[in-house]
């Protein structure tokens, strides 16, 4: 599903690379944690997977697509198949909850009854149906996080990337979000979760964990 091959990422003006010679594969339907302290390169790695940034060297493959060679036209299509929960949510503040979630379908040409049904179903899943008309900037942090989850899930992506999905939440809300991700994984999706929180790993039982430190990979035994 996902393959990184000797990926190195340098940011201009930085002596140390954010990622150094990172190689790994993620099988379809796998649930994978990307763990490491703040600044280890987790966000940078995830960004490579949806083409928000590109490696300095090495190759990144998602599905059959080599992201380094993807044309400007094909990148949007890839992004529609990859659901992303951003560390900072990335909601449109002046739009209501419904439209924020619907956006993921609208950009792919979705509309009509099927769009409304799918958005409502997803909102029900994250327990936000009663807030459908509320502007995104009037929600609490936990609610915004769930809207971000709903938007990532509504298109039923084959690959779900979550960047610190519980980082801003109290333990209760954190567990709810992790449960949503686990449910989505159970329905056949590949899920990658980046977190600096060791507690989260303990919570998620037998999932595979990749440890990142200073941009280098140390796979768990």
Distance of CA 140 to the CA centre of its chain: 20
* Nearest CB to Mg ion, comparing residues 19 and 115: 19
Quote the least distance from Cβ 50 to another protein, whole Å. 7
Quote the least distance from Cβ 93 to ligand ADP, whole Å. 23
SS3 of residue 218 by DSSP: strand
**Rounded CA separation 207/34 (Å):** 11
Q: Does 190 bind Mg ion (CB under 5 A)?
A: no
Choose, by CB under 8 A, the member of 31, 33, 86, 184 that binds another protein: 86
Q: With contact defined as beta carbons under 8 Å apart, do 100 and 122 qualify?
A: no
**Rounded CA separation 181/43 (Å):** 18
Q: Does 129 bind another protein (CB under 8 A)?
A: no
* Nearest CB to ligand ADP, comparing residues 36 and 157: 36
* Nearest CB to another protein, comparing residues 61 and 203: 61
Residues composing the chain: 221
Choose, by CB under 5 A, the member of 2, 26, 43, 181 that binds Mg ion: 43
* Nearest CB to ligand ADP, comparing residues 122 and 166: 166
Tokens matching residue 20:
């150094």
Dihedral pair phi/psi, residue 27, rounded to 5°: -75, 155
């Amino acid at each position: 599903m996902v393959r990184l091959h000797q990926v190195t990422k340098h940011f201009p003006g930085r002596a140390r690379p954010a990622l150094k010679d990172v190689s790994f594969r993620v099988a379809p339907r796998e649930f994978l944690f990307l763990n490491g302290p703040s600044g280890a390169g987790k966000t940078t790695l995830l960004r490579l997977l949806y083409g928000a940034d590109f490696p300095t060297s090495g190759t990144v493959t998602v599905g059959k697509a080599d992201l380094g060679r993807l044309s400007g036209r094909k990148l949007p299509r890839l992004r529609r198949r990859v659901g992303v929960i951003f560390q900072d949510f990335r909601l449109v503040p002046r739009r209501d909850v419904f439209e924020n979630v619907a956006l993921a379908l609208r950009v792919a040409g979705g509309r009509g009854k099927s769009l409304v049904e799918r958005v409502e179903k997803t909102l029900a899943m994250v327990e936000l149906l009663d807030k459908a008309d509320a502007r995104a900037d009037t929600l609490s942090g936990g609610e915004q996080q769930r809207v971000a989850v709903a938007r990532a899930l509504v298109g039923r992506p084959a690959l779900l990337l979550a960047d610190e999905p519980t980082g801003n939440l109290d333990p209760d809300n954190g567990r709810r979000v992790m449960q949503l991700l686990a449910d989505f994984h159970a329905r056949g999706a590949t899920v990658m979760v980046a977190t600096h929180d060791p507690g989260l790993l303990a919570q998620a039982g037998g999932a595979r964990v990749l440890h990142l430190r200073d941009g280098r990979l140390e796979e768990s035994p």
